[in-house]
Amino acid sequence: MPDIRYRIAPANPNAHLFHVELEIEQPDASGQSLSLPNWIPGSYLIRDFSKHLIDLQAETASGEPLPITPVEKSHWQVAPHNGPIKVQYDVYAWDLSVRGAHFDQTHAFFNGTSVFLAVDGQRDQACSVEIVPSPYSEAENWRVATTLPPENVNEHGFGLYHADDYLTLIDYPVEMGCFHLLEFEACGIPHQIAFTGKIEFHCIDKKQLLDDLTRICETELELFGQPYPIERYLFLVTVTEKDYGGLEHRDSTALICARSDLPYLNDEKRSDGYIQFLELCSHEYFHTWNVKRIQPEIYQTASLNEPVYTNQLWWFEGITSFYDAQILHRAGILERDNYLNQLAKEMTRVYRMPGRFKQSVAESSFLTWTKFYQQDENAPNAIVSYYTKGSLIALGLDLTIRAETQNAKSLDDVLLTLWREYGATGKGLQEGEIESICERASGLDLKDFFQRYLFGTEDLAFESLFAKFGIDFTLRPATNAKDTGGKTEQKSFPPQLGANLVNTEHQTVKLTHVWNEQSAGQAGLAAGDEIIALSGFKMASVQALESYLARQDIGDDIPCHYFRRDELHETVIHLYEPPCDRVLLEPALKKPDEALEWMSK
C-alpha cells in the first residue's frame, strides 16, 4: 500500500459535506506540513478552496490527538511526531460548477483541488484513494464515474483507486449519483458520457449525440495521430437550466450545459445551442493534447498556491478556440457556409470590444488572474480576451501560412511540431518558444506578425487575407443589441444605444455594459442604470425600447429618464451612426482565378 492514503465519503447531503481522511505512513518527524491548492489548473483565478475545510484534526496511529496549526490560509503544520499520523476533516461542497465541489441529495461531484490536502515534501509519491459509500448513497443506489485508475472497486465504482502522485491525483474529477451513462468508441478507444441533472433522457437524440461526438473525437485523434495519449475518456456533463462551461483534465472533462443545448428527437436540425455544446466538447477534448500535454514549463512545476504568469495562453486557449469549431467542419458536422457563419459570430465577439485597442493578447494572458477572470462592467472598454482574440490570431496565422506557402503548410504543421517535440516528450515550453516554432514549422518570418497582433493591439488584416481564399470579409452594423454577427436577412440597421440591455422585474430596462464612445455612454448613462422612459414614453422592456429606436433617425436627440440606484435622473441621448462591428463572411461573388482553397489540408 502507498504511504499516502485518502478516504472520501459523501457523508451528509443535507449539509453538503464530504468527509475526508488522510493517512500518512511516514510523516516529517519534525512536523508534517499540509496544504490545499488555491487554484485549479485550467482556471486562472485564486479561489481559496481552503475556506470550505471544516473541523481539521490530526491524531497518531493510536488515536492520540496531535495539534495542527494554521500557517496561512491554505497551509497547516502538524505537531512533530515520529510515526504514522491520520488527518481528517469535512469539506463543504456547494459550488455547482466545473471547478469545485458540489453535493446534495441528487449527486456528488468533486475536483481533487477542493478536497485532497497535499502532503508537502511528498507530493511526488504515489497515493491511494478510497471512495467510500455512505448509507445515503447506498440507499439511493449511486454509482461512481471517474477515470481514476481502479485497484479494487465494486460494481458501482466505490472502492480503492490509485494515482501516481499528487498532481496526477487532482486531475481526475469524480461524479457520484444516478447519472445517465452513454458509451461509444473513437479510433478503438472507449469513451463514456455521464449526464447528471434533471433531464428527460428518453427525449434526447442519443444516436445523433453519439454519432457527432464520435466524429469529433476521431477527427482530433487522427489529427494528432498515434500513439494516442489516452486509453479511455470520460465526459462528465452536468445539465442545468442555463449554465455553460468546461474544464479539461488528462483523460476526462467536466462540462456544464443548459438543458436546451442537448439534441432532442423532435429537432429538425442541429440547434444553435447544440452546436455550442459540441464546440464545448471539441474544445475540452482538444485540450487533451494542447494544455494537458503541450504546456508551459512553469505549469508543470506549479505549486498551485500562487498565480503563475505567462504570455502563452493565447496559444493554449486561443488556438484551441480556433480549432474547436473547425473540427466540427472537418468532421462533417458543419457545412462550409455554416462554418463560415459560425466563425463570423465568433469573430464578432472580438470586433464588438473596443478594449482590444487597449490591451494586447499577450498582456491579457499575463494578467488573466485579475483582468480576465475578474471582469467588471467596464471590461468591453478595457480588455481583450485571449480566448477570442487568440483564436483570431490563430486564424490569421493559418491564413498567412497557407497563403505564403501556397497551401503547402498550415497551422496544423505548427501544432504537430509542438506535439512531437513537446507534448509527446513531456518537455515544457519557455516564454517565446511558440513564436519561434511557428516560424520554424512554417518557414516564414513572422516576427512582425506577432509584434503587431500578439504584443500589439492592431486588428488583423482579414479583408486581404480572406480575399486570397475567395472569401469576402465585411463588417456591418447591428440589427439589435443581441445581434451576434454573421448572416442576417434584415436590410435596415436602426440606431443603437451601444449597451447591453436586460429586462428587470419592475418593468424597466437595465444597462449591464456601456460602450464608451457610443450613444448611451456619450449621454452619461452607466452600467446599472435603469431606463424608464424615452421621449416621455415608458420603456417596460428591451423589446419596447428597440421598437422605439427603430422608428427614430440617426442624429435625433432623445430625452431619457432613468434611475441610478434609487435616484431619478434625466439626460438627452444623441443617436450616433451605429458602428460596423458585426462580422460577415461569405464566398466572394467574384472569386479570383488564383484563389486558394482554405481548409483543404
Q: What is the pLDDT of residues 562-591, one digit of tens each?
A: 999 999 999 999 999 999 999 999 999 877
The whole-angstrom separation of Cα 422 and Cα 560 is 58
Backbone angles phi, psi at 233, to 5 degrees: -150, 145
Using CA of residue 464, residue 466, residue 471, residue 472, what is the dihedral sign? negative
The pLDDT value given to residue 148: 98
The whole-angstrom separation of Cα 259 and Cα 114 is 26
Please compute the mean of the pLDDT values over residues 385-393 and round it to a whole number: 98
Which tens digits make up the pLDDT trace of 163-222? 999 999 999 999 999 999 999 999 999 999 999 999 999 999 999 999 999 999 999 999
Query: Average pLDDT, whole number, for the chain?
Result: 96
Evaluate if residue 381 carries a pLDDT over 50: yes
Please compute the mean of the pLDDT values over residues 330-340 and round it to a whole number: 96
Evaluate if residue 347 carries a pLDDT over 50: yes
Tell how far CA 74 is from the center of its chain.
Answer: 25
The pLDDT value given to residue 601: 40
Architecture of domain 297-313+350-389+399-467: Orthogonal Bundle (1.10)
CATH number of 4-177: 2.60.40.3650
- Shared fold status for 4-177 and 297-313+350-389+399-467: no
Give the Cβ contact number of residue 550 at 10 Å.
Answer: 13
Residue 598, exposed/middle/buried by CB under 10 A (0-12, 13-18, 19+)?
buried
Query: Domain 180-286, CATH 3.30.565.10 — does that match?
Result: no
3-class secondary structure per residue, 132-185: CCCHHHHHCCCEEECCCCEEEECCCCCEEEEECCHHHHCCCCEEEECCEEEEEE
Is the CB of residue 205 less than 8 Å from the CB of residue 269? no
Which tens digits make up the pLDDT trace of 223-262? 999 999 999 999 999 999 999 999 999 999 999 999 999 9
Report H helices in 157-296. 166-169, 206-224, 272-286
The whole-angstrom separation of Cα 323 and Cα 418 is 15
Dmax (CA) of the chain: 84
Evaluate if residue 600 carries a pLDDT over 50: no
The pLDDT value given to residue 441: 98
The whole-angstrom separation of Cα 59 and Cα 79 is 10
Regarding predicted confidence, which is higher, 346 or 303? 346
Evaluate if residue 138 carries a pLDDT over 70: yes
- Write down the domain spans for the chain: 4-177, 180-286, 297-313+350-389+399-467, 499-574
The whole-angstrom separation of Cα 268 and Cα 32 is 61
Which tens digits make up the pLDDT trace of 212-232? 999 999 999 999 999 999 999
Is the CB of residue 176 less than 8 Å from the CB of residue 107? yes
141 contact partners, CB below 8 Å, separation of at least 6 = 156, 178
The whole-angstrom separation of Cα 27 and Cα 84 is 6
Which tens digits make up the pLDDT trace of 439-476? 999 999 999 999 999 999 999 999 999 999 999 999 99
Which tens digits make up the pLDDT trace of 537-564? 999 999 999 999 999 999 999 999 999 9
Architecture of domain 499-574: Roll (2.30)
Which tens digits make up the pLDDT trace of 287-319? 999 999 999 999 998 889 999 999 999 999 999
The pLDDT value given to residue 254: 98
The pLDDT value given to residue 596: 85
Nearest to 542 by CA among 551, 558, 526, 530: 530
598 pLDDT band, cuts 50/70/90, is confident
| Pair type for strands 509-514 and 499-503 | antiparallel
491 pLDDT band, cuts 50/70/90, is confident
Nearest to 223 by CA among 323, 333, 346: 323
Instruction: Read off the DSSP letter of residue 292.
Output: T
524 pLDDT band, cuts 50/70/90, is very high
Share of the chain above pLDDT 70, in %: 99
Which tens digits make up the pLDDT trace of 402-420? 999 999 999 999 999 999 9
Ramachandran region, residue 343 (left: φ > 0; alpha: ψ -120 to 50; beta: rest)? alpha
The pLDDT value given to residue 301: 85
